[in-house]
């Protein structure tokens, strides 16, 4: 009887260790998600339907550089402004791509918002000359927290014009 108990315990131990090693009950597959913002708000907006934060949601739809109604623009031209975007599915972020279609050199801060509402800085810069239109790609090590939003800050204090953002893509994984 004692031998049977030892054998049974040994078999159970092997099964438990195997399931832990192999991830039994879980496929272990990591899915990469590339998503566009579902909604947006901003510190200010130039218009009531054109140039609003909602213009920066969804896939890019501004095809050329210039002052276009299909991108977000702040009300002020000599201020520091922000655009905050939310995404449908929280992810462990690995990349942010910002589609800037007018005066792209004034993005100075990019932050990720976790599911608790805390912001984490992933990019800082001083205004610098860039070609327009421009895709600012920020690759980061996979976050240890789930990201539900992105906040982009533009510093227009030296520009005295607008910087316009057409879309912001959040890339990350589900695990």
User: Tell me, what's the pLDDT at 2?
Assistant: 53
Within a domain: 18: no
Give residue 97's pLDDT band: very low, low, confident or very high (50, 70, 90). very high
Q: How far apart are CA 118 and CA 103, in angstroms?
A: 29
Within a domain: 168: yes
CATH code of 93's domain: 2.60.120.260
Give the pLDDT confidence of 12-65 residue by residue, as tens digits.
334 433 443 444 445 689 999 999 999 999 999 998 889 999 999 999 999 899
Within a domain: 167: yes
Q: How far apart are CA 35 and CA 56, in angstroms?
A: 13
Beta-carbon contacts of 82 under 8 Å, excluding residues fewer than 6 positions away, are 42, 43, 151, 152, 153, 154
> pLDDT over 70 for what percent of the chain?
85
User: Tell me, what's the pLDDT at 56?
Assistant: 97
Within a domain: 11: no
What is the tally of structural domains in the chain? 1
pTM: 0.83
Q: How far apart are CA 99 and CA 81, in angstroms?
A: 17
pLDDT greater than 70 at residue 11: no
Q: Are 145 and 117 in contact (CB under 8 A)?
A: no
User: Tell me, what's the pLDDT at 129?
Assistant: 77
Within a domain: 6: no
- Within 10 angstroms of residue 132's Cβ, the number of other Cβ atoms is 16
Q: Residue 155 sits in which domain range?
A: 29-173
Within a domain: 76: yes
User: Tell me, what's the pLDDT at 160?
Assistant: 85
User: Tell me, what's the pLDDT at 111?
Assistant: 98
pLDDT greater than 80 at residue 6: no
User: Tell me, what's the pLDDT at 96?
Assistant: 98
Within a domain: 42: yes
Give the pLDDT confidence of 123-175 residue by residue, as tens digits.
999 987 788 999 999 999 999 999 999 999 999 998 888 999 999 999 999 99
- The whole-chain average pLDDT of the chain stands at 87
pLDDT greater than 50 at residue 10: no
Q: What one-character-per-residue DSSP string does 72-129 give?
A: B--S-SSSEEEEEEEEEEEEEEEEEEEEEEESGGGEEEEEEEETTS-EEEEEE-----
Within a domain: 53: yes
Beta-carbon contacts of 77 under 8 Å, excluding residues fewer than 6 positions away, are 156, 159, 160, 161, 162
User: Tell me, what's the pLDDT at 27?
Assistant: 62
pLDDT greater than 90 at residue 87: yes
């Amino acid at each position: 009887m004692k031998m049977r108990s030892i054998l049974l315990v040994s078999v159970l131990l092997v099964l438990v260790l195997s399931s832990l090693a192999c991830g039994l009950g879980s496929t272990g597959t990591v899915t990469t998600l590339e998503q566009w913002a579902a909604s947006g708000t901003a510190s200010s907006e130039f218009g009531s339907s054109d140039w609003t934060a909602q213009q920066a949601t969804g896939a890019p739809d501004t095809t050329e550089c210039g002052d276009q109604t299909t991108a977000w623009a702040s009300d002020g031209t000599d201020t520091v402004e922000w655009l905050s975007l939310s995404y449908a599915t929280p992810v462990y972020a690995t990349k942010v791509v910002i589609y800037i279609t007018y005066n792209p050199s004034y993005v100075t801060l990019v932050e990720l918002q976790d599911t608790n509402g805390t912001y984490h800085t992933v990019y800082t810069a001083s205004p610098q000359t860039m070609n327009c239109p421009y895709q600012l790609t920020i690759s980061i090590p996979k976050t240890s927290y789930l990201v539900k939003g992105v906040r982009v800050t533009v510093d227009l204090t030296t520009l005295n014009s607008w910087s316009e953002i057409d879309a912001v893509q959040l890339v990350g994984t589900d695990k």
